[in-house]
Each structure stands twice: as C-alpha cells, then as structure tokens.
Amino acid sequence: MDPINEVDLVNNPRQWLFVIGMNLLVLAELCVAMYLATSSVEDFTATFIKAFFGMLIPTLLIGVLAKRRLRSAATAVRAHQPVEEQRLTS
C-alpha cells in the first residue's frame, strides 16, 4: 500500500476538506508552540520542541487514522455503484 495517496476531490470531497483542516490545525499548533517558546527565551528550543511535537504527533496519528476511514468509506460507496457509473468516474 502506498503511504502517499492523492486526494480525489471529485469522488471524495470530505477527504479533501479533511486534508485542508489538518493543514490548518498543524499551522495553528506551530503558532501556539512559537508563542509558548517565546515566553521562555533561555529555553526557547527545548520549549518549542516539547510543545510542537507534543501536539503534532497525536494530531498526525489521528489524521492518518481518520484519512484511512474516509478513504475506505469512499471505496465502499464506489463498490456499491453500478458498473457503468464506475467506468464513468474512473
């Protein structure tokens, strides 16, 4: 299984919106980590790494699981389509 899959906007717009939301969430986590790191100038790097990766790793794990669920839901929907419709969408 290829870990990098393109998002198919036509067949699964929820997955596309999910990817946009995940990008915004990671950007917000980066901003929060920078804000927390500037509060302690002496330990800037350590504070940033603890804050950012402490938020990023769970977000990415949840994101991967949610994207797989959305992908499998789209595959299940396509499996129930008639053969003619599958040819048109492929």
Output DSSP code: residue 39.
Answer: T
Residue 14 or residue 31, greater confidence: 31
43-90 tens-digit pLDDT: 999 999 999 999 999 999 999 999 888 877 666 666 666 655 555 655
Confirm whether 6 is domain-assigned.
no
Contacts of 39 (CB under 8 A, 6+ apart): 47
Confirm whether 3 is domain-assigned.
no
pLDDT of residue 53: 97
Confirm whether 77 is domain-assigned.
yes
Range(s) of the domain holding residue 39: 13-89
- The two tokens of residue 89 are 């969408």
Confirm whether 46 is domain-assigned.
yes
Residue 20 or residue 86, greater confidence: 20
Average of per-residue pLDDT across 10-35: 89
Total tally of structural domains belonging to the chain:
1
Alpha helices by DSSP H, 4-43: 13-38
Whole-structure pTM over 0.75, yes or no?
no
How far, in Å, CA of 41 to CA of 80, rounded? 57
| Identity at 62, one-letter amino acid code | I
Confirm whether 2 is domain-assigned.
no
The 3-class secondary structure across 47-85, one letter per residue, is HHHHHHHHHHHHHHHHHHHHHHHHHHHHHHHHHCCCHHH
Confirm whether 18 is domain-assigned.
yes
Confirm whether 4 is domain-assigned.
no
